[in-house]
Amino acid sequence: MQLTIHSANGNHRFTVDVARTPTQQEHGLMFVRSLPGDRGMIFPYDPPQDVSFWMKNTLIPLDIVFIRSDGTIVRITNAKALDETPLPAGEPIAVVLEIRGGRAAELGLKAGDIVDWPH
C-alpha cells in the first residue's frame, strides 16, 4: 500500500505493509534487521484509540508516527531497538506509522504534517 506525507518541504511517499489483525499488530516489525528509507508498516485503529507502542524483539530503531483520523500527525517518537518502555500516543489516533529510525528527521517531518493513506 502507498502512503504519502505532505510536509513543508514536499511530499514523501512510502510503501507500507498493513498490520490489520491483533496478531499482526503484536508482531509488527519484530526481528526485522533492516528497513529501506521508503518502506514502513502501518497499524490502523477503527475506532481511533489511545495506544502505546514498545520495541520488544525489535532489532532496529524506528520512528513511530502517531496520526489522527483527519491525517494530521500528532507526534513522532524515536524508539530505540529492544526498548520495552511504552511510547504512548497521548490521544486517540487512527493509525500508527513505523519507519526507519531517524528517517522522519532526515525528511523534516513534523507534528501537523498531513498523511494520506487508503482507508
Q: What percent of the chain has pLDDT over 70?
A: 100
Question: What is the average pLDDT value for the chain, to the nearest integer?
Answer: 96
How confident is the model over 37-89, as pLDDT tens digits? Answer: 999 999 999 999 999 999 999 999 999 999 999 999 999 999 999 999 999 99
Half-sphere exposure of residue 116, counting CA atoms within 13 Å on the CB side? Answer: 7
What is residue 106's predicted lDDT score, i.e. its pLDDT?
Answer: 97
Q: Please name each of the domains of the chain with its CATH number.
A: 2-116 (2.60.120.1140)
pLDDT at 10 over 80: yes
Q: What percent of the chain has pLDDT over 90?
A: 93
Q: Rounded mean pLDDT of 6-25?
A: 95
What is residue 61's predicted lDDT score, i.e. its pLDDT?
Answer: 97
Residue in this structure with the C-alpha cell 491525517, named with its chain if needed: 71
Assign residue 33 a region: left if phi > 0, alpha if psi is -120 to 50, beta otherwise? alpha
Cβ-in-10-Å burial (0-12, 13-18, 19+) of 110 comes to middle
What is residue 107's predicted lDDT score, i.e. its pLDDT?
Answer: 97
What is residue 27's predicted lDDT score, i.e. its pLDDT?
Answer: 87
Q: For residue 3, what is its C-alpha cell?
A: 502512503
pTM score, whole prediction:
0.96
Q: For residue 60, what is its C-alpha cell?
A: 532496529
* Residue 54 to residue 39: CA distance in whole angstroms: 19
